[in-house]
Chain A
């Protein structure tokens, strides 16, 4: 962390480069940076400690999700972070998208227990605590998730892990999503494309088998992991052409690049004050703005 702190320094625009897999998230597409060049630093990488009986793992934010997943899988566990190949823990947290399998994994924001950070003033601070349950002080961790590295740069984290379900199965069929949801208990995910529901069920093999049977008799059949459209936009009540709604997540996976969402003036004012207080000079990832992330 000390090397990371020194690299961040105390002046000049700076951002953390992760796997560059979602580099354009939260950036205006046409924007050309005219300010001082933004230095790119790299967060520490590697798993520091994994305690299966604690269901926590500590790792450098620069660790790839693949490396993390492999280490956890060896002990039958996983975390609520998803991302493309090469994505890092830090990058996934800063983007903050909830996982497709959120019914099983929970939200990304609930996965971050502790973060060692460097602030805009170059000072190190720790947010949150190492235990799975903690209400000590203010919840900076939740503010950091989805902040796109604009409040502080995260170097090291402690994450909550979960057991990997014994069994999982995708099913799809021309049945209303509300009907499907009544047939399953806590689906890992339910997708609706306007004519067909696709559902992922996970759990003990005996239960998955039982639910599969029930879904099949309702008209669904087993399918492979579906390929989703590449973009995410906010669910606004109407499904765009070719779009897939992720039920309960407020997200539509769509084929067209999303537009920035409307933000209420009160929230915009709060965000401005937040950024003024944490980074008055706009050093930290100045090209990015979490309000430009559609969903």
Chain B
């Protein structure tokens, strides 16, 4: 049930891939027939888009505009202008050229699972939906790379690679619905990015339609492309630098051996200190995840992972590599954990147990969010040595405001995901939650951290940019943006705090069961 609801913002085209196919029918049922009768009354922009793509792939009907006016974030109030469904680089270039020739903004959009409002359309732009560009063009096992369309769903690529001994390393928790184009835009992370880095470390080249409609390839299949690293600059640009139309990803060797450990602690601080001690010991696990007691209590009845529900915190440690090293590290982590107060250390005996440990972690969000009808999820990064102290402050902030906060997060890289659950029907509840969110961001920055580790700035956090950056810092960033987009047509009003506003932060109800943090 939750899964169906969660994919609403993803829109019709998102249903074309993999495990989310079923949502497509929901939309088809609710969708009005195309407004063919009005074709001769169209505005010139829409006319030109239809000439380039055909009438069936340009939609300005109310349902489409409604669907594509939001994403997975709490931001509401966006307004799509015209929605396009290109299927090739040439068609994306045509859409962007039409936008450029009419001075009309455009917004690229993948599955719409973003959590910071990056795909929420501002100023009635042309929304360029890339989900139909979902072909895996080429897999080169020998050179360990693949060329894919931006609309390929992250998990679909991983499944496609089964049997090759290779995989695509970034694994955002939304991987069953988010697209690789979206991963590029957000420089997405995931639990297994601790060892091998986030998307930027796994994208070799990006064929890009620049905001003037020209097509360039940023980066190279092997090694640095000559000159400036425009590939690196483009990744994480949140759709403000152009639209990725083909992506060359690096494929990572599957580990021969994987060990998954579950440690439980009587104090959250002990779990946090164990994380620091593991890293200080020279071990870089594949993943290091913490769930606090509230999360465990909510998740266990849901997935029956065998979590000890009386634990103040659980720590999942995944170690991978060659068998000898993994065996050594398992013992080291066990000793470090016990030395820091772990009550038990469970090593998954088989694939089934490993899957159950991870299922609890991956479904935490959905399980938590049934406690109250609404939730607000934050994403900040702090130095990992300050985890214990900052977590204490996060609980205090919530307590002071009579809010329930839960923590389930990528502890290994200090990436916090405090989730506040509340009931938006209570007067003043949303404001209270948003103020708490701002305070958590402030605490994180004051602890030497940053505004966001993987969700991006989008619309949601641009008002906080001054907490981390000076005007001069932001000016340098704006220079990068202007290099790509002189006229500011690509996904306007995002990332940099420009004063222009669009949308508002609101609550998000009916959360997904299996997604997103």
Interface residues of A (CB under 8 A from B): 51-56, 76-77, 96-98, 106-107, 109-110, 117, 119, 123-127, 129-143, 145-147, 151-152, 162-164, 178, 185-186, 203-207, 210-211, 234-235, 248-251, 260-264, 266-268, 270-271, 273-274, 277-278, 290-291, 293-295
- Chain B residues positioned under 8 Å from A293 (CB to CB): 226-227
Q: How far is the CB of B113 from chain A (nearest CB, A)?
A: 15
A291 & B280 in contact (Cβ 8 Å cutoff): no
Most A-side CB within 10 Å, residue of B198, B226, B381, B456: B226
- Chain B residues positioned under 8 Å from A96 (CB to CB): 224, 229
A267 & B454 in contact (Cβ 8 Å cutoff): no
Binding stretch for chain A, among B53-61, B214-222, B392-400, B426-434: B214-222
**What would be 21 A-B contacts, judged by CB atoms less than 8 Å apart?**
A53-B385, A54-B385, A107-B201, A125-B470, A134-B450, A134-B452, A137-B468, A137-B469, A137-B474, A137-B495, A142-B229, A142-B231, A142-B233, A146-B229, A164-B282, A178-B142, A211-B322, A263-B226, A266-B214, A271-B230, A293-B227
A145 & B232 in contact (Cβ 8 Å cutoff): yes
Residue B473 at the chain A interface, CB threshold 8 Å: yes
- Chain A residues positioned under 8 Å from B186 (CB to CB): 135
Contact of B201 among A106, A127, A290 (CB under 8 A): A106
Q: How far is the CB of A150 from chain B (nearest CB, A)?
A: 9
0/1 interface trace, chain B 3-31, chain A, CB 8 Å (1 if under): 00000000000000000000000000000
Residue B508 at the chain A interface, CB threshold 8 Å: no
A250 & B469 in contact (Cβ 8 Å cutoff): no
The answer for the CA separation of A261 and B322 in the assembled complex, in Å, is 39
- Chain B residues positioned under 8 Å from A290 (CB to CB): 226-228
- Chain B residues positioned under 8 Å from A274 (CB to CB): 228, 480, 483
**Would A143 and B276 be within 8 Å (CB), given that A136-B450, A163-B284 are in contact?**
no
The answer for the CA separation of A164 and B474 in the assembled complex, in Å, is 36
B322 & A210 in contact (Cβ 8 Å cutoff): yes
- Chain A residues positioned under 8 Å from B284 (CB to CB): 55, 162-163
The answer for the CA separation of A86 and B164 in the assembled complex, in Å, is 43
Cβ-closest chain B residue relative to A204: B325
Q: Which 9 A-B pairs have the closest CB atoms?
A: A250-B223, A142-B232, A250-B222, A206-B324, A204-B325, A163-B282, A266-B216, A207-B322, A53-B280
A51 & B385 in contact (Cβ 8 Å cutoff): yes
B321 & A251 in contact (Cβ 8 Å cutoff): no
A54 & B384 in contact (Cβ 8 Å cutoff): yes
The answer for the CA separation of A39 and B352 in the assembled complex, in Å, is 65
**Would A140 and B223 be within 8 Å (CB), given that A133-B189, A185-B253, A206-B324 are in contact?**
no
Residue B306 at the chain A interface, CB threshold 8 Å: no
A110 & B453 in contact (Cβ 8 Å cutoff): no
Residue B382 at the chain A interface, CB threshold 8 Å: yes
B479 & A278 in contact (Cβ 8 Å cutoff): yes
A248 & B322 in contact (Cβ 8 Å cutoff): no
Interface residues of B (CB under 8 A from A): 142-144, 186-187, 189, 193, 197-198, 200-201, 210, 214-218, 220-233, 235-237, 253, 255-256, 276-277, 279-280, 282-284, 321-325, 328, 381-385, 410, 413-415, 448-457, 461, 465, 468-470, 472-477, 479-484, 486, 495-496
- Chain A residues positioned under 8 Å from B325 (CB to CB): 203-204, 206-207
B383 & A271 in contact (Cβ 8 Å cutoff): no
A204 & B322 in contact (Cβ 8 Å cutoff): yes
A185 & B227 in contact (Cβ 8 Å cutoff): no
Contact of B228 among A119, A147, A163 (CB under 8 A): A147
The answer for the CA separation of A126 and B144 in the assembled complex, in Å, is 35
The answer for the CA separation of A248 and B236 in the assembled complex, in Å, is 24
Q: How far is the CB of B477 from chain A (nearest CB, A)?
A: 4
The SS class assigned to the A binding surface is loop
- Chain A residues positioned under 8 Å from B256 (CB to CB): 185
The answer for the CA separation of A245 and B64 in the assembled complex, in Å, is 52
A53 & B276 in contact (Cβ 8 Å cutoff): yes
A206 & B450 in contact (Cβ 8 Å cutoff): no
- Chain B residues positioned under 8 Å from A138 (CB to CB): 233, 236-237, 477, 480-481, 495
Cβ-closest chain A residue relative to B450: A129
Contact of A55 among B214, B228, B279, B468 (CB under 8 A): B279
- Chain B residues positioned under 8 Å from A107 (CB to CB): 201
The answer for the CA separation of A211 and B233 in the assembled complex, in Å, is 38
The answer for the CA separation of A56 and B385 in the assembled complex, in Å, is 11
- If A97-B224, A134-B381 are given as contacts, then 17 extra A-B residue pairs at C-beta distance below 8 Å, sorted by A number, are A96-B229, A126-B470, A133-B198, A135-B187, A135-B455, A138-B477, A139-B187, A139-B232, A140-B477, A147-B228, A203-B321, A204-B325, A207-B321, A210-B324, A250-B220, A270-B483, A277-B483
Most A-side CB within 10 Å, residue of B221, B276, B325, B482: B325
The answer for the CA separation of A152 and B384 in the assembled complex, in Å, is 30
A152 & B476 in contact (Cβ 8 Å cutoff): yes
- Chain A residues positioned under 8 Å from B385 (CB to CB): 51, 53-54
Q: How far is the CB of A159 from chain B (nearest CB, A)?
A: 14
- Chain A residues positioned under 8 Å from B324 (CB to CB): 204-207, 210
Q: How far is the CB of B238 from chain A (nearest CB, A)?
A: 9
**Would A295 and B224 be within 8 Å (CB), given that A131-B413, A135-B452, A137-B465 are in contact?**
yes
The answer for the CA separation of A253 and B449 in the assembled complex, in Å, is 40
Contact of B230 among A77, A270, A278 (CB under 8 A): A270
Q: How far is the CB of B433 from chain A (nearest CB, A)?
A: 22
B451 & A106 in contact (Cβ 8 Å cutoff): no
B217 & A264 in contact (Cβ 8 Å cutoff): yes
The answer for the CA separation of A126 and B477 in the assembled complex, in Å, is 10
The answer for the CA separation of A133 and B448 in the assembled complex, in Å, is 12
Q: How far is the CB of A66 from chain B (nearest CB, A)?
A: 21
Cβ-closest chain B residue relative to A178: B142
The answer for the CA separation of A256 and B228 in the assembled complex, in Å, is 24
